Amino acid sequence: MQFHLVVVRPFGAYAKGTVITDQDVVTEILAGEHAADVVRIAIREG
């Protein structure tokens, strides 16, 4: 299942409310120190 991210606490170049859709960036953020600054939104496939 793929996810988009929504920023809940600003960090780097991302403001609160920013939706991150690039899957490479999503993977990088979830594996890093800012994983707690976002919430995952499931993408419905099909």
Instruction: Say yes or no to pLDDT of 46 above 80.
Output: no
The Cα–Cα gap between 12 and 38 comes to 12
Q: Report the DSSP beta bridge partners of residue 41.
A: 4
Residue 32 falls within a domain, yes or no? no
Residue 6 falls within a domain, yes or no? yes
Instruction: Say yes or no to pLDDT of 34 above 70.
Output: yes
Give the chain's domain count.
1
Instruction: Say yes or no to pLDDT of 5 above 70.
Output: yes
Residue 42 falls within a domain, yes or no? yes
pLDDT of residue 7: 98
Residue 5 falls within a domain, yes or no? yes
Residue 4 falls within a domain, yes or no? yes
For the entire predicted model, the pTM comes to 0.89
Of 1, 10, 46, 9, nearest to 23 (Cα)?
Answer: 1
Which residues form the domain of 6? 1-17+37-46
What amino acid is encoded at 10 in this protein?
Answer: P
% of the chain at pLDDT higher than 70: 98
Residue 29 falls within a domain, yes or no? no
Contact 5, 42 (CB under 8 A): no
